A and B are shown apart, each in its own frame.
Chain A
């Protein structure tokens, strides 16, 4: 066997245990900036770590930013989240990396090295101020993902109005296929978008950037763009070419004075491989149109589209260009070959003249280069390079008898004559005689020249015109529309006939004899023509026009290769051509650059079929290095746009050649430098539904009329048609690069050339918080999503409900924006499904959000009837059940337990018929106006890649796998996972797990805490407070956002006259960096000591200006903000005068207040860096360990003698983990931890102090109580400990009940007791059953009756006494039922339930239990199962006794009964009776007696009182892994406090004037934070500043005015009010 050779596959993260421990990095990378990522970042930032918060979106906030309200509190999601957004955005230790993805990671826990890919925003983050002027002008509308596609947004956009960072960004999805298909790569989407916006001039200019002849092209182009158009998949391609013609006609028609210099400079074009390229400078030349630079001039031979394009590009690059043109007019084949009905010559000349007007271009007409004047001569005359673009205008000949007869015309010459001589001869040259073709005309050929000749002949009066072609019509090379139009004009097309002979009469054409012919294929697939001489036809004709193809003129190359037209050495196509002189030199190497000269090889120009010139295809260089060729002379007859493309390519090559640069480098894609690989891909079809809309039809002249003249028969679009047609564009590339935003931005922030960047950084730990995606129900056909407009998803309905959503919170349905009378929710849409299109797990959040949506919908539309179709309502969280009950009690909301069989539309109304099967298997249906699919969560699309990069494992459902007990730990040390990236989670669970991740990262990196953060330093405060108020006022234009409405200079002028104002000025953008300098100058020069800024809103900019004040040495409280944008210019746009008056008054109010501002210094307090944990269950132990692991001393107090709490009674988890072993491990760590002191058999007797400074008295509970473990011990007497933080982990207990014969029969036990028995391996049912529950004996009697076990759920929960759900009992029942089945597969297990609440991934175990035969029977709370003893009286120790359970079978709707050997009650959890901790710490309780956190959603582990934290079952019943998450999370919250040496008050606080305080205590009463106290010695009121949140309630309550609210004193407000009326 051979060994594997080569490098082993490298694991993404390698650990080197033997390597010397690397220094840990005090920074953490958090991936994903939803609510979980923000929470983890804020916690870590507060703990003293540098945080890199990375998100692939342009703004942070995640899914929560899209939600309307949150359950179960109905809080507005944005209201509660936006302070977190702002905190995250401003936190000095958090660095945001938006639009950024993880690309790679190496290193190890403690010292990772990350490589990030930062996608370009195309908006400068330092310059953008979020004003939105760019989006106003952006012509591209795409579906808003923030509004779930219900409305549109622009391609340049801000994700949502409150987005942090408050910046716009541009979405680009690649090069649109139309632009890719266009040979000249004209920015088609761009000009189409501009036309849709009515910006015709800009559209025209944009076309001209890549195509100098838009009007011409708009008439004759064969538009490959339209063939590539994605719109064809919807209906028909956009009429791109007609749109181009519209824009060009419009501009050329209205403005004949358009000059070359008018064409705007573009950011994207022309391409540049480096800043110093000729093109880069060329832009300058183009706009300035200055004289040619001191460089060799270039000769261009031929003024066709290729020559003109090259000339213009070269002229723009600063080269003098001389064009040599044989004809007397420019245009080449466009002039001489294209008939006037296709191209109005005046249009051609006008556009050509625009090019020729360029000051660097000279044209010489009537100059034929070839035999008389040779190309080499041009070179000798001093032209540095020559571009040959002479076309292919020599007709091929047809060699048949009689072809020389009179009346036989050459097609090309015929067209040339008609075109150059004027269509009827009158206006032609002097030698032109009127050309009349009165008679029958036969045209031989099948190309465009043939159709042109035929149609021209028709217009010259030919009676009958016929085209004869050898092959089939399908094989005709002419464009299909040319053939179509020819037929319309009465031209006969005869195919399959090959001309054989011209029959003559008197030397003049009389007839054409043809033989039948057809195409044949030889064995190699090459085509040939088979002519059947037997089958002939004679066509009578008066004229014969031969149009069988064209060649290039061989004389052009005269003298180049010895003799004219001789074949030179074949230049292999595709092989690198000769390099430019400089490049050649470089290739010689650096040793002797001066000596080596290129060897003299014979230079020759290759020629090809039809006398075409051979060139290197990329560079268009011929075998002679100074000679370039392009257009038809290279390709043979082709289109004008291809010639234009060649012109661009040649000009690029010539510039490179003349500047000594490599001709080939970076030319694979001519549009952009290759660094922008991401934006170079070809955009696909936008993934969204598009309504069909027919393509606009070009109005044309009737064929009968049009054949009478050479007038253009296509009449052009009118404006409305054009704009409507332009709107059909799907915007495949999203941003159209029309550049309107560039000109709209007043701060020059938009930069379309931004490239993707690679950012590398070090981080000691990585937290994955990338969230989940929303399930897309398109695949579930029976729901009709995307087919029926009024079937929407719950996330979409969330936006419908939102006041900031598309309908401003009105409940409307999409199809007709009518208010629905009846709305249905379909729960588990895509979740709990065994089929492939759905997900098997429960998405955990849908039941609750559906209830919430129904409640809110009823609030917004009180008449709406709401029906929820569900399997089980999973209201398992804290206060969820009460919310569910409330919804049931509201009226109008009905819950229907049913299975949906389908949804169909009621014909004619867009109403929806929901068909379902009820619990009794009856088929029913009901009609709704709106159906909401309660779709669940799926693993994020980027998760597999993230898993690959980080080496973290995925679970079977594609989520990132955490440990089954410590959910945040991944398989990779140092990488943690939180939120919905690991499992479907609601907001508080996401926040909790995020904090837990912060705890683990903080523990890992504790040595490096503080090492990567630097406090910003400020200069000392200037002493400018001499009693005089000197106010400086800065009034902001905000570009045009304020300035266009409010007369800003007038406001500044007005301000300068206000009392106290010593300086006032108006700024374009007051938030820009230079204003800081202006404020500094005002401070230094005028001694201003108060600053008023009149601009946007304090909510986004107050902190920034306060910081500015500190930087210039002013106290930050000497600042006043006046909002004249949000409160004035943006809301009174049409009332400019009144807005200006209002702005003046607002400024006066601000100045008045500023005059009485006084400085304030935030106070700070030391923190005792120790924690107290109350409770020694799994929550308390985990919390204590988590705090101590982070390096802080911790005291743990437990009432009982033994540690472990409820965990002592649990043995295994649903996933099969050994609980006791886990607990033993925890206790062992606890005992060994040097920073933890454990007090068992003790209780907290008293706590005094406040956040950061607590003193706690610990008392022993029993005299003989002795501690367990080495360091623990019950003190004999009271003991005091001092600490800064408190974690409450007092837990809960199993509910005690007497229901269902509990306590009367030994056959009735609880789940805990059952678990104990199962762990011991025995069910303990009577002697006869003893062996059955142990390991099944092989010799067991087969006739034995199977063991029957019944379980009843919700015992003591969800009833009147305890209305809440205990959350864990369903999982426990499933766990134990599976264990029973494992021990005894014969056992019959029946579970009586109300709703099976196996949320999240535990759903799988429920399914497994059902598969294994566990019977689940539902009961109604009004009709609980009845339990009786059979045979023996109650209380008897019943081996013989059997339990009889009577119940109602709801499926069959009839009473039934069963016997059971054992009845197991799922009794749930309840709070401890002893509430002393709550009363000592003054902690609030909810109505069920559990401790109430500060905020159910965003502060689940905090109390309203700072410094005290919460975790575990004291919060609410929860599973072990959830307790562990909370405990670690609470530890993180505590450490955000303990990590600080000092805590600083926010400055939002009050001051007390002790002199007038009477000590009445009213302030103490009203303070919601217990921040106000009466000093027992002085009798005066005090403020505990660290507790104060600054609401000001006490200041208002104070009857004496002794309390002053900082920044809102009565004096200050009164001063404002003085100015207000």
Chain B
């Protein structure tokens, strides 16, 4: 079965102050999660350029996790809210392009939520695995 061997590639864009710190805490706490994610540190989820997400999806990434501070806790006052608006638009664009919007996850994960970060990665890997590989990649492969 293809799905059972399929290992999703997930790219994580994490804000420096909350989710990246949460991922660090998962590390220091030795909480295990699948090695399917590659983390890219951003200063703020609000500085996430949507083209980054588009680029990795077009090149075949199976999922994108965007992590920011909880609403009201943004280190830069309101960057996470900017991210929220952008991701909403981005998802509708993806849908129009024929890609499942559920391949892009936006999650608020604080610096003390190491376990939640690990759980999110586990959950996302399972979800994307069930969803199957990124169809865009298949097309591009032709």
Binding site for B on A (CB under 8 A): 68, 73-76, 78-80, 82-83, 132, 161-162, 802-804, 808-809, 1097-1099, 1123, 1125-1128, 1130-1135, 1138-1139, 1141-1142, 1145-1146, 1149, 1504, 1548, 1566, 1568, 1589-1593, 1595-1596, 1605, 1608, 1610, 1613-1614, 1616-1617, 1620-1621
Contact of A1133 (CB < 8 Å), options: B30, B39, B46:
B30
Q: Which of B55-63, B89-97, B99-107, B123-131 contacts A (4 or more CB under 8 A)?
A: B55-63
B73 and A1130: CB pair below 8 A? Answer: no
Q: Which 7 A-B pairs have the closest CB atoms?
A: A1592-B47, A1126-B27, A1591-B76, A1591-B44, A1130-B27, A79-B111, A1621-B59
Q: Which residue among B24, B31, B75, B76 has the maximum number of chain A CB atoms within 10 Å of its CB?
A: B24
Given A161-B28, A1593-B46, the answer on whether A1620 and B38 have CB atoms closer than 8 Å is: yes
Extra 13 A-B pairs, beta carbons < 8 Å, given A79-B18, A1613-B40:
A73-B72, A76-B111, A79-B17, A79-B21, A161-B28, A803-B113, A1099-B20, A1130-B27, A1132-B34, A1593-B76, A1596-B47, A1596-B82, A1617-B59
Q: How far is the CA of A1610 from the CA of B42 in the complex (A)?
A: 12
B47 and A803: CB pair below 8 A? Answer: no
Minimum CB–CB distance from B68 to chain A (whole Å) comes to 11
Q: How far is the CA of A804 from the CA of B69 in the complex (A)?
A: 16
- Please give, as numbers and ranges, the residues of chain B lying within 8 Å of A1098 by CB-CB distance: 41
B27 and A1616: CB pair below 8 A? Answer: no
- Please give, as numbers and ranges, the residues of chain A lying within 8 Å of B44 by CB-CB distance: 1591-1593
A1621 and B23: CB pair below 8 A? Answer: no
Render B1-25 as a binary contact track against A, CB cut-off 8 A, 1 for contact: 0000000010100000110110111
Minimum CB–CB distance from B119 to chain A (whole Å) comes to 9
Contact of A75 (CB < 8 Å), options: B25, B34, B73, B114:
B73
Q: How far is the CA of A1589 from the CA of B17 in the complex (A)?
A: 13
Minimum CB–CB distance from B108 to chain A (whole Å) comes to 11
Residue of A nearest to B29 (CB): A161
Q: How far is the CA of A1131 from the CA of B34 in the complex (A)?
A: 8
- Please give, as numbers and ranges, the residues of chain A lying within 8 Å of B118 by CB-CB distance: 1131
Residue of B nearest to A1601 (CB): B49
- Please give, as numbers and ranges, the residues of chain B lying within 8 Å of A1139 by CB-CB distance: 35
B82 and A1566: CB pair below 8 A? Answer: yes
- Please give, as numbers and ranges, the residues of chain B lying within 8 Å of A1145 by CB-CB distance: 38
- Please give, as numbers and ranges, the residues of chain A lying within 8 Å of B21 by CB-CB distance: 79, 82, 1099
CB of B79 closer than 8 Å to a CB of A = yes
Given A1593-B76, A1610-B49, the answer on whether A1142 and B43 have CB atoms closer than 8 Å is: no
Given A1123-B39, A1126-B23, the answer on whether A1608 and B115 have CB atoms closer than 8 Å is: no
- Please give, as numbers and ranges, the residues of chain B lying within 8 Å of A1613 by CB-CB distance: 40, 49, 52
B35 and A803: CB pair below 8 A? Answer: no
- Please give, as numbers and ranges, the residues of chain B lying within 8 Å of A1135 by CB-CB distance: 35
B110 and A803: CB pair below 8 A? Answer: yes
Residue of A nearest to B26 (CB): A1131
Minimum CB–CB distance from A369 to chain B (whole Å) comes to 62
A1128 and B35: CB pair below 8 A? Answer: yes
Binding site for A on B (CB under 8 A): 9, 11, 17-18, 20-21, 23-35, 38-44, 46-49, 51-52, 55-56, 59-61, 69-70, 72-73, 75-79, 82, 110-116, 118
- Please give, as numbers and ranges, the residues of chain A lying within 8 Å of B40 by CB-CB distance: 1149, 1613, 1616-1617, 1620
Contact of B32 (CB < 8 Å), options: A79, A1099, A1133, A1610:
A1133
Residue of B nearest to A1134 (CB): B32
- Please give, as numbers and ranges, the residues of chain B lying within 8 Å of A1138 by CB-CB distance: 35
- Please give, as numbers and ranges, the residues of chain B lying within 8 Å of A1133 by CB-CB distance: 30, 32
Residue of B nearest to A1138 (CB): B35
30 pairs from A and B in contact (CB 8 Å cutoff): A76-B73, A78-B111, A79-B112, A83-B17, A803-B113, A803-B116, A1098-B41, A1099-B21, A1130-B28, A1131-B26, A1131-B30, A1131-B31, A1131-B35, A1131-B118, A1132-B33, A1145-B38, A1146-B38, A1149-B38, A1504-B77, A1568-B77, A1589-B76, A1592-B46, A1593-B79, A1596-B46, A1596-B48, A1610-B51, A1613-B40, A1613-B49, A1617-B55, A1621-B61
Q: How far is the CA of A289 from the CA of B87 in the complex (A)?
A: 71
Residue of A nearest to B118 (CB): A1131
A161 and B25: CB pair below 8 A? Answer: yes
Given A74-B72, A1131-B33, A1620-B11, the answer on whether A1590 and B61 have CB atoms closer than 8 Å is: no
B23 and A1127: CB pair below 8 A? Answer: yes
Given A808-B115, A1616-B40, the answer on whether A1591 and B56 have CB atoms closer than 8 Å is: no
- Please give, as numbers and ranges, the residues of chain B lying within 8 Å of A1621 by CB-CB distance: 9, 11, 56, 59-61
Residue of B nearest to A1592 (CB): B47
A1591 and B43: CB pair below 8 A? Answer: yes
Residue of A nearest to B60 (CB): A1621
A804 and B35: CB pair below 8 A? Answer: no
- Please give, as numbers and ranges, the residues of chain B lying within 8 Å of A73 by CB-CB distance: 72
Q: How far is the CA of A1138 from the CA of B33 in the complex (A)?
A: 12
Minimum CB–CB distance from A189 to chain B (whole Å) comes to 28
Q: How far is the CA of A99 from the CA of B116 in the complex (A)?
A: 33
A1592 and B43: CB pair below 8 A? Answer: yes
Contact of B112 (CB < 8 Å), options: A74, A76, A1610:
A76
- Please give, as numbers and ranges, the residues of chain B lying within 8 Å of A1131 by CB-CB distance: 26-27, 30-33, 35, 118
B47 and A1591: CB pair below 8 A? Answer: yes
Q: How far is the CA of A83 from the CA of B43 in the complex (A)?
A: 14
- Please give, as numbers and ranges, the residues of chain B lying within 8 Å of A1132 by CB-CB distance: 32-35
- Please give, as numbers and ranges, the residues of chain B lying within 8 Å of A1134 by CB-CB distance: 32
Minimum CB–CB distance from B42 to chain A (whole Å) comes to 7
- Please give, as numbers and ranges, the residues of chain A lying within 8 Å of B47 by CB-CB distance: 1591-1593, 1595-1596, 1605, 1608
Q: How far is the CA of A1218 from the CA of B92 in the complex (A)?
A: 68
B56 and A1548: CB pair below 8 A? Answer: no
Q: How far is the CA of A73 from the CA of B61 in the complex (A)?
A: 37
- Please give, as numbers and ranges, the residues of chain A lying within 8 Å of B49 by CB-CB distance: 1595-1596, 1610, 1613
- Please give, as numbers and ranges, the residues of chain A lying within 8 Å of B55 by CB-CB distance: 1614, 1617
Q: How far is the CA of A103 from the CA of B23 in the complex (A)?
A: 42
A802 and B24: CB pair below 8 A? Answer: no
Q: How far is the CA of A1617 from the CA of B20 in the complex (A)?
A: 18
- Please give, as numbers and ranges, the residues of chain A lying within 8 Å of B70 by CB-CB distance: 76
- Please give, as numbers and ranges, the residues of chain A lying within 8 Å of B34 by CB-CB distance: 1132
Residue of A nearest to B62 (CB): A1621
- Please give, as numbers and ranges, the residues of chain A lying within 8 Å of B73 by CB-CB distance: 75-76, 79-80
Q: Which residue among A1589, A1595, A1608 has the maximum number of chain B CB atoms within 10 Å of its CB?
A: A1608
Contact of A79 (CB < 8 Å), options: B43, B56, B59, B69:
B69
Q: Which residue among A74, A1097, A1098, A1621 has the maximum number of chain B CB atoms within 10 Å of its CB?
A: A1621
Q: How far is the CA of A339 from the CA of B11 in the complex (A)?
A: 74
Contact of A1620 (CB < 8 Å), options: B27, B31, B56, B114:
B56
- Please give, as numbers and ranges, the residues of chain A lying within 8 Å of B32 by CB-CB distance: 1131-1134
- Please give, as numbers and ranges, the residues of chain B lying within 8 Å of A1614 by CB-CB distance: 52, 55
Residue of A nearest to B28 (CB): A161
Residue of B nearest to A1130 (CB): B27
- Please give, as numbers and ranges, the residues of chain B lying within 8 Å of A82 by CB-CB distance: 21, 111
Q: How far is the CA of A1145 from the CA of B61 in the complex (A)?
A: 14
- Please give, as numbers and ranges, the residues of chain A lying within 8 Å of B75 by CB-CB distance: 1591
- Please give, as numbers and ranges, the residues of chain A lying within 8 Å of B23 by CB-CB distance: 1126-1127
Residue of A nearest to B47 (CB): A1592
B110 and A1126: CB pair below 8 A? Answer: no
Q: Which residue among A79, A808, A1141 has the maximum number of chain B CB atoms within 10 Å of its CB?
A: A79
Q: How far is the CA of A933 from the CA of B18 in the complex (A)?
A: 31
Residue of B nearest to A1494 (CB): B77
Minimum CB–CB distance from B113 to chain A (whole Å) comes to 5
Minimum CB–CB distance from B46 to chain A (whole Å) comes to 5
Q: How far is the CA of A1620 from the CA of B2 in the complex (A)?
A: 22
Q: How far is the CA of A1146 from the CA of B82 in the complex (A)?
A: 28
Contact of B27 (CB < 8 Å), options: A78, A1127, A1146, A1568:
A1127
Q: How far is the CA of A802 from the CA of B25 in the complex (A)?
A: 13
Q: How far is the CA of A79 from the CA of B74 in the complex (A)?
A: 10
Given A1131-B31, A1132-B32, A1620-B56, the answer on whether A1593 and B82 have CB atoms closer than 8 Å is: yes
